[in-house]
Structure 1
Amino acid sequence: MKLMHVDASPKGAKSNSRMLSGQFVEMLRERIPALSVDYLDLAQDPPPHVSGDFARAIYTPEEERTPQMRALLEPSDAMCRRVLAADALLFAMPMYNWSMPSSFKAFLDLIVRGGVTYIAGPDGYAGQLARHKVLFLTTRGADLRDGSPFAGMDALTPALTHGFGFIGVRDPWFVDAQPLQFAQPEERAAGLARAQAELAMVADRWAADVMSEAA
């Protein structure tokens, strides 16, 4: 199985999402010895944000694009190739102001491409990531679970669900570590433990799927 592992936190060694995503990759390696990993660090290699020239190039028919347009689209083309080449996708990020970090939004904007990751046809749009296993691993300062005063303020989960759903991701896994920042030490420890247990469950499931597909 080929995994594309994307980290979005800028906090380096102090990042909870990076710690947990690294643990998940190790869980997969233990269960899937042939695992290969394509790693992308959005803090070290931030994608460009959408510009007017980029938008014009995207909506220009391919046969009419100038060499300058093709050059402008090459980072997006390359990123789409990396995503499509993977069998599984791990996206790890902190929640910022109830949604995703801007670096991850820029990444998403790079890979939502007509004619590449979704195809327009007579019956609508067909996303090209339907075969991919996808895990969104998020870390949250507050507790946004049902019953919390902040439960209605989660803009991250629907943004990820709909953004990736358009390019074919139908049943992603979500593991949310919470509460971490605005919590007592015991609450923080419990939030991390819940997330680690859920990650182990996902790793077990993915490994079982790989074994089933190989049989």
Structure 2
Amino acid sequence: MKIFHVDASAKRERSNSRALSRQFIENLRREGVDVEVDYLDVTVDTPPHVTEAFAIATYHQEHERTDEMRATLTASDALCKRLLEADALVFAMPMYNWSMPSAFKAFIDSVTRPGITYKNENGNIVGQLNRQKVLFITTRGADLRPGNVFSSMDALTPALRAAFGFIGVSAPRFVDAQPLQFSDQQARNEALKRAHTELADVAADWAASELARVGSVEAETA
């Protein structure tokens, strides 16, 4: 299974989202999955923010683009290729001020590409990432689960669902560790424990599906 693993926390070793995403990859390996990781840290290799030149080049057909336009789209083309070649996508990030880190928003802007990650077919938008498994691992300072005082302020989950739904991801999985800052130590520990349990469950589900797929392929070629 080839996984495109993207981290988006500004923290390094103190980052909970980074630690949880690494743990998920290890969970998959312990389940017996042969994992190949294509890793990107968008806080180090941040995709370029949208410019006028990028917007113009994006909406020109390939045969209409100048060499300058193609150069403008080079980094975006490479990111789209990595997405489409992966079997699964693991995105890990903290919530910053109710939504995603700006570096990850730049990533979304780079991979939302007409003719590549989505196509207009007879007036209908058809996303092209419809075969990949997708997991979002998020960390939140407050508790935004339904029934809590801040639950209506979660702009991260709907934004991720909308952005990736547009390019074909219909059933992403979410594991949200919360609350991790505006709480006491016991609540933080419980939040991380819940996240670890949920990640183990997702890993088991993905592993069962992947091992069954591999077994089927081997049987067909035997």
Write out per-residue CA displacement over residues 37-85 of structure 1, whole angstroms, 9 at most, x where no aligned residue. 0000111111110011100110122111110100010000000000000
Quick one: which amino acid aligns to residue 82 of structure 1?
Answer: R
- Specify every segment of 5 or more residues in structure 2 that has no aligned partner in the other structure, as ranges: 217-222
Q: Which residue of 2 aligns with 1:19?
A: 19
Mapped partners of 2:115, 2:65: distance in 1: 14
Mapped partners of 2:100, 2:43: distance in 1: 13
Q: Which residue of 1 aligns with 2:99?
A: 99
Quick one: which amino acid aligns to residue 100 of structure 1?
Answer: M
Correspondence 1:1-215 to 2 at 5 A: 1-122=1-122, 124-214=124-214, 215=216
Mapped partners of 2:34, 2:206: distance in 1: 13
Quick one: which amino acid aligns to residue 49 of structure 2?
Answer: H
Quick one: which amino acid aligns to residue 104 of structure 1?
Answer: F
TM-aligned CA deviation for residue 108 of structure 1:
0.5
- Partner secondary structure for residue 174 of structure 1: strand
Quick one: which amino acid aligns to residue 87 of structure 1?
Answer: D
Mapped partners of 1:159, 1:120: distance in 2: 21
Mapped partners of 1:4, 1:61: distance in 2: 27
TM-aligned CA deviation for residue 88 of structure 1:
0.2
TM-aligned CA deviation for residue 29 of structure 1:
1.4
Mapped partners of 1:129, 1:40: distance in 2: 18
Quick one: which amino acid aligns to residue 56 of structure 1?
Answer: I
**Contact conserved, 2:33 with 2:207, CA < 8 A, in 1?**
no
Mapped partners of 1:55, 1:137: distance in 2: 30
Mapped partners of 2:67, 2:14: distance in 1: 42
TM-aligned CA deviation for residue 15 of structure 1:
0.5
Mapped partners of 2:64, 2:53: distance in 1: 14
- Partner secondary structure for residue 70 of structure 1: helix
Mapped partners of 1:72, 1:32: distance in 2: 41
- Partner secondary structure for residue 181 of structure 2: coil
Quick one: which amino acid aligns to residue 131 of structure 1?
Answer: R
Quick one: which amino acid aligns to residue 17 of structure 2?
Answer: S
Question: Between the two proteins, what is the percent identity of the paired residues?
Answer: 59
- Specify every segment of 5 or more residues in structure 1 that has no aligned partner in the other structure, as ranges: none
Greater mean alpha carbon deviation, residues 84-93 or residues 118-127: 118-127
Mapped partners of 2:44, 2:115: distance in 1: 29
**Contact conserved, 2:95 with 2:140, CA < 8 A, in 1?**
yes
TM-aligned CA deviation for residue 139 of structure 1:
0.1
- Partner secondary structure for residue 83 of structure 2: helix
TM-aligned CA deviation for residue 33 of structure 1:
4.0
Q: Which residue of 1 aligns with 2:219?
A: none
TM-aligned CA deviation for residue 95 of structure 1:
0.2
Report the TM-score, using the length of structure 2 for normalisation.
0.95
Quick one: which amino acid aligns to residue 141 of structure 1?
Answer: G
TM-aligned CA deviation for residue 32 of structure 1:
3.3
Mapped partners of 2:43, 2:61: distance in 1: 32
Q: How many residues align?
A: 215
